[in-house]
Amino acid sequence: MNSSTDKTLQSRRRFLENISRAAGGAALYGIGLGLYSRQATSLPSQSIRPPGVVNESDFLSACVRCGLCVRDCPYDTLKLSSLGDDVALGTPYFDARKIPCEMCEDVPCVKACPTGALDPALDNIDDARMGLAVLIDQEACIAFQGLRCEVCFNVCPLANKAISLNRTHNKRTGKHALIVPVVHSDACTGCGKCEHACILEEAAIKILPIRLAKGELGHHYRLGWQEKQKAGESLVTPDTPHQYNLPEGTSYDYEGEGLISPPENNSRDINDTPFTKSAIDRLNEGVK
C-alpha cells in the first residue's frame, strides 16, 4: 500500500517535472521567435512588394513563399528573398531601379497566387499601389536646374495622371521656365518605371513605401472650404473684415502684398487681387 502510494507520488512528480520542462522550453522558444520576428519583418524601403499587397503584416500572414508569382512574372521583375537578403525570408519583392514592374494588363502574378496573399480582387493593374514615386531630391533632378529631361514623365505608364509636368519660373536665369515632374498619389501605382529610367547616377525620383511617402492629416481636421462645399454654405459666421489704422487712401491687402491702394470702386471683392487667376501664369510673372 505504502509503496504503491510512493510510486503514484513519484510518477506524479515525474509528470509535473516533464510538463514544466516542456512548458519552459516552449516559452523559451516562443520568446526567441517572437523577438526575432520583430526585426526580421522590417522591410527595407527600396524593396517593393508585388501588386495586390495592401499591408505588410497581412502579407506576412498570407504568403507561403512558393514563388509562383515570381515564376509567372514575364519580365523577371519579381524575385524571392533568400537567406542573407534583408527582406522577410522567401517573400517576393522587386527593386525598381533594377527591373521595374511592367504593369501587365492581365496581372499574372496576382493570378498565380494560391493563397490570396496578392489580393485576387485586383483585376486592373492601374489600381495597384505597390508604392509611391517621390521626387526625392530636387537638388539633383536636372529638371529643377532648368534643363529639359522629362524622362520619368515619358516612361510613366500613366503619364499625365500619375506624373504631370508643371511649368514654373526659372529664378536663376530670370527668363526661362523650369519644367518639373509632379507625382500624383491618386494615380501612381508605384511600378517604378520612373525610378528605373531616371538618368542620374542615383535616381532623384524613387519609389517609396506608401507609409513613408505619404503624410496623414489628423482625423479631427476639417478643411473649411471642403466642409463649406459639402454643406452648401458657410458653417461659421464669416469674419468681420479686419480694421486697420492705415494711412489715407490705402488698405491692407490679403495675399501678402502689403499696403495697396484700394480699387476704384472701393469694393472688397475676393476676386479683386492684383494677380491673374491662373496659378501657372502667376508663377510666370516671377518676383515683383
Partner 1 sequence: MSVSTTSLKVPGLEAVQKKGWLHAHKWLLLRRFSQLSILSVFLIGPIFGTWIVKGNMSSSLTLNVLSLTDPFVFLQSVLSGHVVETTAVVGALIVFGFYVIVGGRVYCSWVCPINIVTDTADWFYRKLNIKSPVHFSKNNRYALLAAILVVTVISGIMVWELVNPVTMLQRELVFTMGFSWAVILAIFIVDAFISRRAWCGRFCPMGAFYSLLGRLSFIRVNALNREACNDCMDCYVVCPEPQVIKPVLKKTDNLNPVILAGNCTNCARCIDVCSEDVFSLGTRTAKL
| Residues forming the site for partner 1 (CB under 8 A) | 18, 21-23, 25-30, 33-34, 36-37, 40-41, 57-58, 60-68, 70-72, 79-85, 88-90, 112-117, 120
Q: Whole-number minimum distance, CB 34 to partner 1, in Å?
A: 5
CB 97 within 8 A of CB 46: yes
Report the C-alpha gap between 113 and 232 in whole angstroms: 47
Q: Whole-number minimum distance, CB 102 to partner 1, in Å?
A: 20
* Cβ-based neighbours of 215, under 8 Å, separated by 6 or more: none
Residue among 32 and 263 whose Cβ is closer to partner 1: 32
> What Cα–Cα distance (Å) separates residue 244 from each residue in 32, 153, 250, 252, 259?
69, 48, 10, 7, 11
Report the C-alpha gap between 227 and 231 in whole angstroms: 6
Q: Whole-number minimum distance, CB 269 to partner 1, in Å?
A: 58
Residue among 70 and 122 whose Cβ is closer to partner 1: 70
Q: Whole-number minimum distance, CB 111 to partner 1, in Å?
A: 10
> What Cα–Cα distance (Å) separates residue 77 from each residue in 65, 71, 73, 90, 106?
16, 10, 7, 15, 15
Q: Whole-number minimum distance, CB 118 to partner 1, in Å?
A: 10
Nearest to 185 by CA among 258, 130, 260: 130
Residue among 76 and 285 whose Cβ is closer to partner 1: 76
Residue among 13 and 71 whose Cβ is closer to partner 1: 71
Residue among 72 and 137 whose Cβ is closer to partner 1: 72
Exposed (0-12), middle (13-18) or buried (19+): which is 170, by Cβ within 10 Å? middle
Residue among 79 and 169 whose Cβ is closer to partner 1: 79
Enumerate the β-bridge partners of residue 179: 167
Q: Whole-number minimum distance, CB 7 to partner 1, in Å?
A: 22
SS3 3: helix
